[in-house]
Amino acid sequence: MNYTLHQLQVFLKISQTLSITRAAEELNLTQPAVSIQLRNLQDQFDIPLTEVIGRRLYLTDFGREIALAAEKVLNEAYAINHRTLAHKGLLYGKLKVSVVSTGKYVMPYFLTEFMRQHEGIELVMDVTNRQKVVDSVANNEVDFALVSILPPHLNVARLDLMPNKLYLVGAGPTGQLREEAEPELLKKLPLIYREAGSGTRQMMESFLAAHQIVVKKRLELTSNEAVKQALLAGLGYSVMPLIGLKSELLNNDLQILPMAGLPLQTVWMLIWPKDKQFSPVAQAYLAYIRDHKDAIVQQHFGWYERFL
């Protein structure tokens, strides 16, 4: 037998996702690279590890046994690395963070230097919808969550990072929107919505309800990126967070359209259960963010102030 830890890692991810494509995405590898590692591991055995039925990938019984063994081997390998770092007096372990989808434009900048300073820390960051983020906090599955709207009915502590402002945005000013318009105008505009349950959708609907505006929805899309592309194509207007529009605004591909009552404002914040017992890694990260968050905002989000 001549298999490697990397082959076991790839196979374990395949066993968890039952997909070459998804395994490649989660491992930040190409699909051919994952396929090659699977083939190289399979070459070590006479019994098939996987089988394809109706274009779907399945593990064989033998494959499931190898996946369980691979998980144990990898856990022991990680433990060896951790013990080595511990003997050197270095920080080690996992930092688990859950992030609402729009937060992908924010959270990496508050992680990069910390991760660079602590090579023994493994980052597990899940970028997902708001409800799953809230559930991960409620179920104590993560160390921190990044949100822009404080979830109700959860007893959480928070650390504010930076403002989150939402503006009416479109592919360019129309004749009727060159000067600040009244919210009534939204009755006439084709509006593009985020999916139900998203924080952006919640803020937009609250604004419309506060001004007693009933509109006909033009589109409902499931991500800020999809909404942005629809705006660029000229399909309508949307109330969107500024944070994901840097290039489009600076290049004048999209423009903020002035309207009374806008922007709407929330705060990007880290939250965690108030009674949570932090691991040494989580404690170190929280201390780091408290000390460096202002400098991070200034360094990476200085452009933001042009539109505030």
Interval 124-135 mean pLDDT: 92
Find residue 162's DSSP bridge partners: 268
- What is the maximum alpha-carbon separation in the chain? 73
User: How many CB atoms sit inside 10 A of residue 151's CB?
Assistant: 17
First CA to last CA distance, the chain? 61
In which residue are the tokens 């434009």 written? 105
> So what's the pLDDT on residue 198?
87
> So what's the pLDDT on residue 214?
87
Pair of tokens at residue 230: 């629809």
- Give pLDDT tens digits for 219-235: 899 888 899 999 999 99
For residue 15, give Cα distances in angstroms to 9, 12, 31, 51: 10, 5, 15, 12
Count CA atoms closer than 13 A to 39's CA, side-chain side.
Answer: 6
DSSP E strands in 178-224: the ranges are: 191-194, 217-221
Domains belonging to the chain, first-starting first, are 5-87 (1.10.10.10), 92-162+267-307 (3.40.190.10), 163-266 (3.40.190.10)
Which helix or strand (DSSP H or E) is residue 9 part of? helix 5-17
pTM over 0.75: no
- Give pLDDT tens digits for 144-196: 999 999 998 899 999 999 999 999 999 865 444 557 889 998 988 899 999 88
For residue 158, give Cα distances in angstroms to 102, 199, 202, 206: 18, 17, 20, 23
Q: Are 304 and 243 in contact (CB under 8 A)?
A: yes
Q: Are 300 and 161 in contact (CB under 8 A)?
A: no
Interval 274-294 mean pLDDT: 94
Amino acid at 137: V
Q: Given a cut of 50, is residue 297 above it in pLDDT?
A: yes
Mean pLDDT across the chain, nearest whole number?
A: 89
Q: Read off the pLDDT band of 108 (50, 70, 90).
A: very high
- Give pLDDT tens digits for 26-84: 888 899 999 999 999 999 999 999 999 988 999 999 999 999 999 889 888 877 776 67
